[in-house]
Every structure is written in structure tokens, then in C-alpha cells.
Amino acid sequence: MRIIGLAGRRLAASIPTLFLILIGVFLLLQLAPGDTVDALMAQMGGGDAATARELRKFYGLDLSIPAQLANYLWHLVRLDLGFSSIYGKPVATVIMERLPPTILLMTASLSFAFFFGLVSGVIASHAVNKWPDTLISTLGLVFYATPSFWFGLMAIVVFSIYLQWLPAGGFEDIGEVRTGIFRVMDIARHLILPTLTLGLIFLAIYLRIMRASMLEVLNLDYVRTARAKGLDETRVVMGHVLRNALLPMVTLIGLQAGTMLGGSVVVESVFSLPGLGRLAYESVIQRDLNTLLGIVFVSALLVIVVNFVVDLLYARLDPRISAEG
């Protein structure tokens, strides 16, 4: 229970950060040329000044900036993100519709990167400076330097256009109506390439961290003791080394959550996935500032939640942390 208390305190401490972000971005967006009404009028193919004035009044855009900010924050406290004039729905609804693909994509990429990063890191650390290590480390460097959107495009060329194994984009087949397990399989097939694309760079990072922290732990005295008492290598690694080597990996998940969310903007655009990242891109293009602000809020919230989960995980892996709290 102390763990929850500790994590809860960290969560509460992030509320001021959240408000700082919102106020900052809100003020920033005030500097943008044109507002929602301008965009709306342009979409309608123009209109007279009187209509514009009325619309501005309707959206509360005729108030002073501090009043608008106070208005926005007050709505936010009640989890009301305002109205998206471009999509014709409340921003919260639009975001909720777009959230599942992104969360699915992030979870899948994270699991992929974490698992393979861990395995290849362990292999590399066990063959330090021999050929498997050299091969894995070189691949890691190349993955790290590969722009994800380019990797995605090349994967489409190979797997969708030439081999025709996997779909080139979209979240599911819209041609046929599927239900149950068939729908799940279909979505999974659509997510393979985006997952690889988004996960690749993180795989490279996890691999490097895992290799380094394994090497560090393998040299500690208690590992020598474990070996001295005759445990075989697998048991030493699984029972003694891994748990401690995992700590830096877990820390990294929290630190990379934001980067991953940013990366999904690009990956979702490559594979035309109807997710939050794609929505962010669309709202920039269409100048839908209300939606953009909502996305900023939700993504900051998402990062905070991931960090909260990481705190809990951390305390499980290293009991000393909760004892100190």
C-alpha cells in the first residue's frame, strides 16, 4: 500500500506540470494567425463579417485572452475539452474515438521493443566483443539511425507491394464486416508493419541499455557467489541478474513514453491509421486549435499515466524503493 501512496503522491505532483503545459500551449496558440472561425469560414467558402462576429461570440472567442483561458481551464476541470468545429463533435468524443488505435499501437510496439531488446541485449552481453555481440550492436546502431517513416515506406514496398503478405495501411478491412476473433486477427494483421516501424528505434535503445546493465550486474560480487555455489548459467541469469538489470529498462519506458507518442504521429500517417497521432497532424493542417489543445492535454495525461505505472512496476522489482518512501 505504501507503493500506491508513493506513486499517488508523484501523480499529484504532476498536476501543476499539467497546468503549466496547458497554459503555455494555450498562450502559444493565441499567437497563431487565424482562429477556428477563420478556418470554418474558409471551409464554408467565405461569409460576411456579421456571421463571423456571431460565430466568434458563439465560441467565446470575443472575450479577452485571460477570460478565454479561465474559461478553458474551468471547462477542463470538468473534463470538457470544448467543441471541434471541423469534426462537428465535442473534442473529447473525437479524441476518444481516435485513442484506441494509438494505445494499441503503442502497447504492441513497446512489448515488441522491450522483449526483443531484452533478449538481444542478454545475448550480446554474453558474447561481449565476439561476433554475435558485434552483429547485434551494429544492427542496433543502424536501427537507431533509420528514420521510422522511411522504414515504414520500405516495409510497405517489400511486404505489401511485392510480396503482398500484409496490408499497406488502414486499421482493418472495411470491405468485409468481420466480428469476434476474425476481426481481432484482421486488426492484428494491419498492425504488424506499424508496430515494427514504431518499435524499431526503441528496440535499438533497449538493446543498448540492456547490454550495458547486464554487463554491469554480471560483474557484481553476488553473481560471483551464485556461480561459485554451482548454479548453472541460465539460473544465474534468470534468477539473479535479470531482475536487477531490468531496472534501467523500466526507467526508460517512462522516459520514452512521450517520444513514442510523438513517433506515432509519423507512423500513423504512413500507414493511415485513424489514431491520435494522425488526428494531431490533421488538426495542425486544418488549424483546429481546440482539438490540438485537447490532444496536447490527453498526450501529457498519457505520459503521466505511463510514468505512474512505471513507478508501480519499479517498486515491485526493487522492494527497497517502497521501503524508503
Where on the chain is the footprint of another protein (CB under 8 A)? 14, 16-18, 20-21, 24-25, 28-29, 31-32, 141-142, 144-150, 153-154, 156-157, 161, 212, 215-216, 255, 258-263, 265-266, 269, 280-281, 284, 287, 289, 292, 295-296, 299-300, 303-304
CB of 269 to another protein, least distance (A): 6
Nearer to another protein by C-beta: 47 or 274? Answer: 274
CB of 282 to another protein, least distance (A): 11
CB of 134 to another protein, least distance (A): 10
- What are the φ/ψ torsions at residue 308 (nearest 5 degrees)? -60, -45
CB of 226 to another protein, least distance (A): 20
Q: What is the DSSP letter of 162?
A: I
Nearer to another protein by C-beta: 12 or 145? Answer: 145
User: What does the alpha-carbon distance between residue 126 and residue 121 come to, in Å, rounded to a whole number?
Assistant: 9
User: What does the alpha-carbon distance between residue 92 and residue 98 come to, in Å, rounded to a whole number?
Assistant: 10
Q: What is the DSSP letter of 147?
A: -
Nearer to another protein by C-beta: 3 or 217? Answer: 217
| Cβ count near 265 (within 10 Å) | 20
Nearer to another protein by C-beta: 43 or 319? Answer: 43
CB of 179 to another protein, least distance (A): 32
CB of 235 to another protein, least distance (A): 24
What is the SS3 assignment for 167?
coil
- What are the φ/ψ torsions at residue 83 (nearest 5 degrees)? -120, 135
Q: Hey, what's the cell of 124?
A: 550480446
Burial 152-174 (b: 16+ CB within 10 A, else e): beebbeebbeeeeebbbbebbee
Nearer to another protein by C-beta: 15 or 323? Answer: 15
Nearer to another protein by C-beta: 130 or 316? Answer: 130
Residue 201 contacts residue 115 (beta carbons within 8 Å):
no
Q: What is the DSSP letter of 161?
A: I
Nearer to another protein by C-beta: 150 or 182? Answer: 150
Nearer to another protein by C-beta: 237 or 295? Answer: 295
Residue 98 contacts residue 181 (beta carbons within 8 Å):
no
Nearer to another protein by C-beta: 111 or 134? Answer: 134
User: What does the alpha-carbon distance between residue 279 and residue 276 come to, in Å, rounded to a whole number?
Assistant: 5
The neighbouring-strand residues paired with 83 are 90
CB of 50 to another protein, least distance (A): 28
Angle made by CA atoms 228, 230, 234, in degrees to the nearest 5: 110
User: What does the alpha-carbon distance between residue 310 and residue 250 come to, in Å, rounded to a whole number?
Assistant: 7
44-to-38, 47, 57, 140, 187 alpha-carbon distances in Å: 10, 8, 18, 50, 36
CB of 166 to another protein, least distance (A): 15
CB of 319 to another protein, least distance (A): 26
